[in-house]
Amino acid sequence: MKSQNIPSIHRLPSLIANQIAAGEVVERPASVVKELVENSLDAKAKTIDIDIEQGGVALIRIRDDGFGIRPEELSLALNRHTTSKIRNLDDLERINSLGFRGEALASIASISRLTLSSRFYNHETGHCIRLNGQEKPSAIEPIAHPIGTSLEVRDLFYNTPARRKFLRTEKTEFNHIHETVKRIALSRFDVKFKLTHNQKTIMAFKPALNKDEQLHRVAKLCGREFIQHILNVNEASAGLQLSGWITQPTYSRSQADMQYFFVNGRIIRDKLINHALRQAYQDVLYNGRHPSYVLYLTIDPSEMDINVHPTKSEVRFAESRQVHKFLTQAIEKRLAKTSPSHVSRPSLPPKMPLKQQSIYYSKPENSEDNNKYNQVEKPSAAAINETIQTYLALQVPPSESVPKQPEQPAKPEKTTNTILPPLGYALAQLQGVYILAENSEGLVLVDMHAAHERITYERMKSSMQTNNLETQGLLIPISITVSEPEAELAEQEFDLFRKLGFEISRAGPETLIVRKVPILLADANVPMLVRDVLADLRSFGVSASLQENMQNILGTLACHTSVRANRQLSLSEMNALLREMEKTERSNQCNHGRPTWTQLSMKELDRLFLRGR
């Protein structure tokens, strides 16, 4: 082998090194926007203007009113690994800034025509420096410039055509920029933002310094539907604080595209965080559906490492189990209060215009005034009309024969001092499916199967957590024929069935004998129930974590024992169900995330019948 054919080790030219670094930091124009806006925020800017042309390929201009850059440091700022944010190892272990790697400006300048202009906060004039993808920047020039910094990035990827050809259409690239600015605007309510594209204003926000103004910004960024279904979150424990908003389980999405999680002001997409939130929602959401949220976690910077990924979008926690447990419990605690006796969502800010706004009310949490109610979701107008027409049809003429109902306790007579329960008192049953009730606001409709399923499910969860699941011996044991693999699985999971309140033994290759069942499931179809539990176990896998799958199994059990459609209930039974709903956690939705009840206020009913016109 000839020596001249063996490549020698050499130092890369700085331009090539910067372009390689740019490949890690700058994926598309949106990446440039993110890096530059984060620099503005680190410079304590309170106003940031973002001008984009042709999806960011032709121009990205970021202007801020931060503390600026000293003239003698402008050239240094364009070098790799230069930063004002960390000086020693201790700073690296307690990062409080958004940027810290010192690669962004050098990387961006290597693949564009960059102009950096800045005026330091205590200087009389500004200064400017230019770099056109070359190794040496231009001479620093004095210019007129307000306090702060402006960065112009033109002709992105002009000298790296291989990268440029992977860019998408102008619209797609700008959509990525819009999403990036949206996330940043959600992270810093105290900053004024303006985004333009091709000289057209796309987004403009004043500083949001109180809760109402913050909700206005969230509504504009996440949509009216999101804000109509949110629940406030504010929990703190062991140096961790979680605040922000989650959505009610009845408002879910087919994609995880409305999930914003910030750690110390930084947007994060982390597997541990995602798993904790999915686990918190797992028994109130239908399979395949995703919750929406805007959440802010505050933690001591020394307890996490954000130097995991070049884009700083991932994080590693020193006490990951503690963080996971805190997040799960905080969200579960808030979701537990989604019942008729608690607030379903906060009131909308008074300045927020919502067209065709229709609302109903429920009794607020921790309020001394039971006549003040907050707004929650309403059904469609078509559903209301259909329901009301059916309800009116229940009024049977006196001449017709009506089956005599058993004598029921009289509904309390209304007086000026009477406070009705949140779900009121039952009036009738509709088609063996819905309970019609009257409360102080008007008409309440309850899906009795969905409501009873949630009640049973919560009872079983509580009983299992306290190891107090009562069982009932069967006078005549039940024999169940199953497949041989199912019989082997039941024998293998004997302890699990016992934990669920069943006593099951194997009596043959394809035969199981059930001798005890939980009292809550005494009226269920036991053979079908056992087969469904075995089907759940097969789908989860016997090696899967029992804790992760137990709620799914309990959901199956609860569904079997809940009141079925077309079952006639007496008024006493209906009222008992309403009272149970009011004191049961998460009873605003069934185990699959469907709503269990809805409200038609008197104003809505008056509108339907054109009263007052």
18-32: pLDDT as tens digits: 666 666 668 899 999
pLDDT category of residue 71 using cuts at 50, 70 and 90:
very high
Cβ neighbors of 329 (< 8 A, separation 6 or more) are 280
pLDDT higher than threshold 50 for residue 17 = yes
- Higher pLDDT among residues 402 and 55, named by residue: 55
Q: Domain boundary residue among 308, 335, 362?
A: 335
pLDDT higher than threshold 60 for residue 314 = yes
pLDDT higher than threshold 60 for residue 460 = yes
Other C-beta atoms lying within 10 Å of the C-beta of residue 236: 12
Average pLDDT, the chain: 81
Does 9 fall in a domain? no
Distance of CA 139 to the CA centre of its chain: 50
| Residue whose C-alpha is closest to residue 22's, from 114, 104, 118, 136 | 104
The Cα 130–Cα 413 span in angstroms is 82
Q: Is residue 392 within 8 Å of 412, Cβ to Cβ?
A: no
**Side chain identity, residue 179:** E
Does 276 fall in a domain? yes
Q: Is residue 543 within 8 Å of 398, Cβ to Cβ?
A: no
Q: Are residues 194 and 51 in the same domain?
A: yes
The whole model's pTM is what? 0.71
pLDDT at 359: 28
The Cα 518–Cα 499 span in angstroms is 10
Does 356 fall in a domain? no
Q: Are residues 145 and 239 in the same domain?
A: no
Average pLDDT over residues 81-104: 69
The Cα 128–Cα 427 span in angstroms is 77
Return the structure tokens found at 95.
Answer: 């990062």
- Tens of pLDDT, residue by residue over 471-496, are 889 989 999 998 888 899 899 888 88
Helix (H/G/I), strand (E/B), else coil: 237: strand
The Cα 598–Cα 194 span in angstroms is 40
The Cα 62–Cα 34 span in angstroms is 10
pLDDT higher than threshold 80 for residue 439 = yes
Q: Are residues 236 and 108 in the same domain?
A: no
Q: Are residues 184 and 320 in the same domain?
A: no
pLDDT category of residue 175 using cuts at 50, 70 and 90:
very high
Domains in the chain: how many in total?
Answer: 3
Q: Are residues 164 and 295 in the same domain?
A: no
pLDDT at 457: 87
Among 226-230, 351-355, 522-526, whose mean pLDDT is lowest?
A: 351-355
Q: Are residues 555 and 523 in the same domain?
A: yes
- Higher pLDDT among residues 399 and 283, named by residue: 283
pLDDT higher than threshold 50 for residue 609 = yes
Average pLDDT over residues 433-459: 91
pLDDT at 387: 41
Does 305 fall in a domain? yes
The rounded percent of the chain whose pLDDT value lies above 70 is: 78
Among 122-131, 161-170, 183-192, 386-395, whose mean pLDDT is lowest?
A: 386-395
Return the structure tokens found at 337.
Answer: 């209060």
pLDDT at 370: 37
Q: Are residues 87 and 224 in the same domain?
A: no
Q: Is residue 425 within 8 Å of 578, Cβ to Cβ?
A: yes
CATH number of the domain within which 468 lies:
3.30.1370.100
Q: Tell me the DSSP string of 57-90.
A: TSEEEEEE-S----GGGHHHHTSTT--SS--SHH
Does 341 fall in a domain? no
pLDDT category of residue 417 using cuts at 50, 70 and 90:
low
Average pLDDT over residues 227-248: 94
pLDDT at 99: 65
Segment (H or E) for 581? helix 571-583
Average pLDDT over residues 140-160: 95
Q: Domain boundary residue among 205, 224, 256?
A: 205
pLDDT category of residue 47 using cuts at 50, 70 and 90:
very high
| Residue whose C-alpha is closest to residue 435's, from 559, 577, 587, 339 | 577
Does 309 fall in a domain? yes
Average pLDDT over residues 578-589: 92
Q: Domain boundary residue among 335, 355, 389?
A: 335
- Tens of pLDDT, residue by residue over 335-394, are 998 888 764 433 344 444 433 332 233 333 443 333 333 333 334 444 444 444 443 443
- Domain range holding 173? 14-205
Q: Is residue 91 within 8 Å of 306, Cβ to Cβ?
A: no
**Rounded to 5 degrees, what are φ and ψ at 503?**
-110, 110
Q: Are residues 177 and 305 in the same domain?
A: no
- In what order do the strands lie in the sheet containing 266-267? 230-237, 240-247, 293-298, 259-263, 266-267
CATH number of the domain within which 281 lies:
3.30.230.10
Q: Are residues 433 and 566 in the same domain?
A: yes
Average pLDDT over residues 96-120: 84
Does 490 fall in a domain? yes
Q: Are residues 234 and 217 in the same domain?
A: yes
pLDDT category of residue 184 using cuts at 50, 70 and 90:
very high
Q: Are residues 486 and 558 in the same domain?
A: yes
pLDDT category of residue 324 using cuts at 50, 70 and 90:
very high
- Higher pLDDT among residues 544 and 121, named by residue: 121
Q: Which residue has the tokens 């205590």?
A: 122
Does 484 fall in a domain? yes
Q: Are residues 141 and 269 in the same domain?
A: no
